[in-house]
A and B are shown apart, each in its own frame.
Chain A
Amino acid sequence: MTKTSMTTRRTLLKSAAAGGLLAASPLMGRFASAQSSAPIKIGFQQHSTGIGAAYGRWYGRTTEAAVKLINDGGGINGRPVEIVAEDDGTDPKRGAEVVEKFANQHNCDVAFGTLFSHVVYGSAPAAGEQKLPYFVVSEGHHVASGALNRYTLQPGITDVKSQVQAMAPYVAENLGKKVTMIFPDFAFGHDHRDFFTAAIEAQGGEVLEHIAIPPTETSFTKYFPKIPRDTEVIYHVMVGPAVLTFVKELGEFFGPSAPAIFGFIDSLEAVDMASPGLEFLEGTYFWEGNPRYAQADQTSHDKMFRAAVGVDDNGASLSDSKDVSTYAHMFGCWETLHVIKAGMEAAGYQGPEDRAKLIEAVEAMTDMPESDAHPQGPKLFNGKTHQVFGVQYISRVEKGKLVKVHTTSIEDTLYEDEVDYTTMSF
């Protein structure tokens, strides 16, 4: 089957009328009896509006490209894949409603795609109650922490705990051991504070000062005098529109004699590195989930992935060089869809009655070698914690571009299991 389909609810509504006509026709009997040819319906919980809209746009493009590839290759178990996209408004209440809609109105086989952690938290109970496998692409630690349920999995993107932990050895060895952390004073920032502080101490380093910035802050200059003079590394994870102001004011504060600076690219996802005010980032370091700029040692898998999604060598859209992608995260949609495919094929998935088999099949997965299905790099899935682990990248800003300087091992990202979902009943 080579059907390519990215069905939004809009097209679904339009086709509902046609579906009614089809149902009344004699042809319908033939399709209905051939159940195995019916599409596999995957509910795509998309941040089309709200604070996550930039991510949602690129998650959508990546999903569309992955589904095209899967369908061109014969679909899943010989059945075409159909994506049913619903906007969750990046809101946890709407997210839960959307999950219920996937399960009860669209009759989706599984749901996937959520990025923002609060939407995952808000939606996961609905997924558990509806017994709908829910594959999130969030990088939150929520799944592996054991806070959710057996129906929620994160097999396509690593979590923040493993990412942060894996940065510490490089920072300690190459940038310095005396760190000052600047982070937003809410859960995302607190995760970085807690995980990195422990990780850098394990490397013999220390955090001299934790500077928490209230989420409503728009100017940051008054916080910079709190940075101790003997700071060797500034670790920052500011997010949202204020990040440009943050970088500009940090540059003005330090001038040319700044300590080493390390940040998470989350701050600048979908932001053009050539934006005014970002010149100060020259020579600073970033974690990247997947290198935005095509690197000298680019793999054939990354080349294929980039072309399929429509991203140029600078990480921007092929049709608009100002439309910068969320490259460090969006591969997660691609890889998750391939995991769903592999899981359904391993489980011999036929329909919703096989959802438990699908989850068990994914739980049984371990090694995921670097391939066209996993273009970001090799991965190791932990079936007990429902969380995947994989390599991380550190890049340095050189002439306005991010150049990869280090690739972690998967072992750098591992930590003790905090839950065993396989012991929970369905």
Chain B
Amino acid sequence: MSISTKSFALHAGLIAVLFALGFLLPTYHQGNLARIMVLATYAVGYNVLFGYTGLLSLGHAMFFAAGMYGLGLAMHLGGLPPVPAFIIGLIAAAALSTIVALLALRTIGVAFMIVTLMFSQAVFLTILYLGTYTGGDEGFVIAQSSRQILGYDLTHPLTRYMAALFVFSAALLITARMMQASFGQVLIGVRENEERTTMLGYDVFRHKLASVIISGTISGAAGATYALLFGYVGATFGSVQYSIFPLLWVLLGGAGTTIGPLVGAVFMFYLIDYSSGLTNAYMLIAGVVLVLLTLFARAGLVGEIRKRWIAWLP
């Protein structure tokens, strides 16, 4: 069996398992997994830039927020139905990521991190400043009655789960296919040795530009999906904290692996969910676990599996 066939089987199998879990899980965990899949979509987007291209952004919350507010404002103020509003969310994230990429890619390394962080802060403060429209720090609710597509009620637990699975699967398959294509291989080349990739004749800037736009747009799709499925749009999702989360999920799951973002998001979600039952200092537990993983599984959970046992893992 070729690596691409194994890879396809892995992704198809994962989607099939997630589909089945939608019917098998108790209501509480079904709801959690729906939420996790949306967050994992965000992490998949982040992974394109960080895991495959080697660019560490500390400002991805702005793309998540762009998608979220693009959809949210289109529905809340514009009265648009979900599908056109979702497209507006995607356009908002794509436009913002293009602008940010054109400016931030003039820098490298630590400067890139700082510039993305500053842009994200600017977006966050803009959301607060335009409180008349955005609801400021409080945000706003998208009416339950408007969250329907083709007669399907997205607030119904199973429908919501399947919608989250659809978006996650699309992001997963797009990135998996992308990384098998020559475009993805060049991104990995940029990550491993940018000078050599340039020397080989590839237009590194254009590839990095495309990587930021794809990454930002997938993150925006996650933000729009979150708003649509869970009915809330708020500035918190544009804060620094929400730029750090996808970094953690990707690091935990395995940077540069296709299923790592999902594994990291699941792990982190339930780590907090269960450890908060033990102590109020649950972030300390999360921190200790992260330190241990950094020490003993530096490539992340899936990354370590790939390194030690299953070398073909995509």
Contacts and interface: CB of A to CB of B under 8 A. Distances in A.
B283 A49 contact: yes
Contacts of A406: none
Nearest to A8: B277
Given A13-B277, A104-B27, A118 B144 contact: no
B277 A9 contact: yes
Interface string A163-192: 000000000000000000000011110100
Interface of B: 26-28, 31-32, 35, 125, 128-129, 131-132, 135-142, 144, 155, 230-232, 234-237, 273, 276-280, 282-283
Contacts of A104: 26-28, 31
A92 B277 contact: no
Nearest to A141: B138
14 contacts: A49-B280, A49-B283, A86-B276, A92-B236, A96-B230, A97-B35, A97-B273, A104-B28, A118-B234, A122-B232, A125-B144, A186-B131, A190-B136, A215-B137
Main secondary structure of the interface of A (DSSP, over half): helix
B137 A188 contact: yes
Nearest to B283: A49
Interface stretch (A142-150, A316-324, A377-385): A142-150
Contact of B234 (A122, A129, A188): A122
Contacts of B27: 104
B27 to A, nearest CB: 4
A118 B278 contact: no
A121 B232 contact: yes
Given A121-B135, A121-B139, A122-B139, A96 B155 contact: no
Nearest to A149: B144
A77 interface: no
Contact of A97 (B32, B139, B283): B32
Nearest to B241: A91
Interface of A: 9-10, 12-13, 48-49, 86-87, 91-93, 96-97, 100-101, 104-105, 117-118, 121-122, 124-126, 128-129, 140, 142, 147-149, 185-188, 190, 214-216
A101 B273 CA distance: 10
Contact of B140 (A96, A100, A121, A149): A121
A14 to B, nearest CB: 9
A-B interface, 8 closest residue pairs, ranked by CB to CB distance from nearest:
A125-B231, A187-B136, A104-B28, A105-B28, A187-B138, A9-B277, A104-B27, A186-B137
B128 A215 contact: yes
A415 B135 CA distance: 22
A86 B137 CA distance: 23
Given A122-B139, A148-B141, A215-B137, 8 more contacts: A9-B277, A13-B278, A49-B283, A87-B276, A87-B280, A92-B236, A104-B27, A118-B235
B199 to A, nearest CB: 44
